[in-house]
Structure 1
Amino acid sequence: MQLNFFPSRQISLYMVRLFLTRTFAVLAMLVAILLTLDMLGESGDILAYPGNGDAQLWYYAGLRAPQIAATFLPFSVLLGTLIMLATLNQNSEIISMKAAGLSAHQILAPLVVAALGVSAISFVFNDRIVARSTGTLSAWEAVDYGPVPADRGVMANTWVRDGNNLINAGIVAGRGTAVQLRKVQIYNRVNNALITIIQAPKGHYDVASKSWVLENARQFDVARGTMRDIGTVRFGHDIRPDQFTLAKVDPDGMTFRELDAAITDLHDAGRPTSELEGSLWHKLSGPLSALLMPILGSVAAFGLARSGQLFVRAVMGMALGFAYFVADNFSLAMGSLGAYPPILAAWAPFFLFLLVGETVLFRTEE
């Protein structure tokens, strides 16, 4: 009777090596193809800004590639698992392992451990690299690929209401009373009718007067259709600095700790946080989806290759994997609408498909 949960050291290392090489090879291929297609669509907008050239295109690629890699890493783990297990089955290596007394779970154990390592790498990669690149890219897109303030805490396209007027800031940088605004537009309205639009390249909060100051402002008169310079403008005596910094919280552009701190600030301010709490939990459950892929794709490993159903089994494994991603997105959407509690929206698909994968594995192979 085989009491060890793992196969021999040689077999384990062999399977882990095959799993990792095929997973990251698929990931590299997907990133290269999708990044090329994405740059074909965005290069015109990037080069349209005066002074932008090849350096800005490479800068965009450096910001966009981590996002694509993070999005498609679970898909790569699924496809890498299917390619590896189908190959082992085709070469009768799985049959040899089972003839040596290994169970289906023992054969998959090295892959699960390797997938757990990929999940840990994915979490660190998302938290340290992807969050920063997402925030920077959003801020860069908000200024039409022009100069962006050198601040890690930048937010893009923030709206705040001041009575009947609306204020839009293309970029918000900093926290507290040190908040800096860029590309500010004030829409002055009377009886819900737009009267004037004030535009300014930058603004800041004046602690002494407890108001906001715009520099080099210009005013557009809607009725007359004229534009004139009005210099320095003060506005928003009732607008707190945190209304800009908390008006738009992008969970994809924040690290785990930054998002947790933003949720705490919003909660203290009496603002709803359910959607952001779901995103916070998903920063943990999302990377762990790589752990499911060897289990969901395991149907391609077993069954006789000569029976002619290996392709059907591979398609079944792919269908299970993609069904998880559909359920995960659906659950997050329901959590955003308030239909699911945040923790359930983030974790329910993971545990549901863990049970589904284990049930398929037990019913077919154990």
Structure 2
Amino acid sequence: MIPPQWQFFPSRQVSFYMARLFITRTLAVLALLVVVLQTLDLLGQSGDILAYAGNGDAQLWHYAGLRVPQIIATFLPFSVLLGTLVMLATLNQNSEIISLKAAGLSAHQILAPMIAAALGIAVVSYVFNERIVARSTAALTAWQAVDYGPIPPDSGVKTNPWVRDGNNLITAAIVAGRGNGVQLRQVQIFNRINNSLTTIVQAPRGHYDAASKSWLLDGARQFDVARGTMRDVGTVRFGHDIRPDQFTLARVDPDALTFSELSAAIDDLRDAGRPTKALEASLWHKIAGPLSALLMPLLGSVAAFGLARSGQLFIRAVIGMALGFAYFVADNFSLAMGNLGAYPPFLAAWAPFFLFLLVGETVLFRTEE
């Protein structure tokens, strides 16, 4: 039989007891936050929703149904932090933590059931984000784009996309159609040699030639930058490596896409020569964000453990809250730096997680272990 001090979890009864307390406190805090924040948000948006003729109570409830998943996804880590503090402060105040330590349990063993429950919450949060939040975000964004009116069907028309063909850049004022039937209007090709612009080819229209897997421009004219002259060149063929869908790529909203959809969009944008660093950071954060729930029991443990038993429970709870909120500030800052290109995408998404994991472990070891 494994000695108690070498077991990762305490007894089954204690483990279920602490996991149940942790989950119920977290869900109670989350429900309270959702009700309060949704009420405030609905009060702020109801005027815009009702401003559209014909909108009424049904549209208000529809907005609330689309907004609630976003609020849950955003504030679930906060709820885990606050639920941890409420639970540990209560256990400390009732001397249950002291009883567990007197029975020979270490600080890590006491926190183990909470960390296991937090891992379950992280998995549920990831699935919830993939299945529900992404769809509701896409629907709400489309609805807000038409000022809460009827959403028109997607016409498939895109404006002002640009694609890279080797060292050259191709732009089109309007792109219509899908697949091999893509049509280009007001096309410009900027031919460059060693990053120096040499010629500009302009054409009123162009289309994709599936037989040769290239693009054709009709009625093209070429401007020579060095000579400053313009001449007619007729039909121009270009872009053997450019797929039709590279012209039809729209602006990518990472919050409205699942992990697999965002990964595919990043690959398409990368093939089109567009910057993807910000989207790559958001892609990694789709995993790092839900996993932040694992840190909350560790950062909030200061509410239960401390060097001195001075009875200053409120101060220790405030310190735990400060550590948790410091993580959220660092996480948002790091993600913003990743969007600006100052941090590599992987570092922008994961650096705060591992940094505060070390901070939480350091605080726990220095105080209790």
**Structure with the greater alpha carbon radius of gyration:** 2
1:78 matched to which residue of 2? 81
2:98 matched to which residue of 1? 95
- Supply the distance in 1 between the matched residues of 2:358 and 2:309 (Cα, whole angstroms): 29
- Supply the distance in 2 between the matched residues of 1:257 and 1:304 (Cα, whole angstroms): 46
1:66 matched to which residue of 2? 69
- Supply the distance in 1 between the matched residues of 2:122 and 2:181 (Cα, whole angstroms): 37
Aligned pair in 2 of structure 1 residues 175, 114: CA closer, same or farther (>3 Å)?
farther
1:126 aligned onto 2:121: no
Structure 2: stretches of 5+ with no match in the other structure = 163-169, 186-206, 210-214, 217-238
SS in 2 for 1:307: coil
Using the size of structure 2 for normalisation, the TM-score is 0.76
Q: Which moved more, 1:141-150 or 1:52-61?
A: 141-150
Q: Are the counterparts in 1 of residues 284 and 346 from structure 2 also a CA contact under 8 Å?
A: yes
Give the count of matched residue pairs: 309
Q: What are the within-5 Å matches in structure 2 for residues 1-366 of structure 1? A: 2-149=5-152, 160=160, 176=179, 242=245, 245-303=248-306, 307-366=310-369
Aligned pair in 2 of structure 1 residues 273, 143: CA closer, same or farther (>3 Å)?
same
CA RMSD after TM alignment:
3.2
- Note the C-alpha offset of 1:147: 1.5
Q: Are the counterparts in 1 of residues 122 and 294 from structure 2 also a CA contact under 8 Å?
A: yes
- Note the C-alpha offset of 1:178: 8.7
- What do the CA deviations read for 1:169-201 (whole angstroms, capped 9, x no partner)? 9xx9x964799xxxxxx9xxxxxxxxxxxxxxx
- Supply the distance in 2 between the matched residues of 1:349 and 1:258 (Cα, whole angstroms): 25
Structure 1: stretches of 5+ with no match in the other structure = 180-185, 187-205, 212-237
- What do the CA deviations read for 1:27-53 (whole angstroms, capped 9, x no partner)? 010011000110111111111112211
- Note the C-alpha offset of 1:303: 3.8
SS in 1 for 2:53: coil
Q: Are the counterparts in 1 of residues 69 and 136 from structure 2 also a CA contact under 8 Å?
A: yes
- Supply the distance in 1 between the matched residues of 2:90 and 2:143 (Cα, whole angstroms): 44
- Note the C-alpha offset of 1:246: 2.4
- Supply the distance in 1 between the matched residues of 2:137 and 2:85 (Cα, whole angstroms): 30
Amino acid in structure 2 at the alignment position of 1:282:
H
- What do the CA deviations read for 1:55-79 (whole angstroms, capped 9, x no partner)? 1111100000000000000000000
SS in 1 for 2:292: helix
Using the size of structure 1 for normalisation, the TM-score is 0.77
- Note the C-alpha offset of 1:110: 0.2
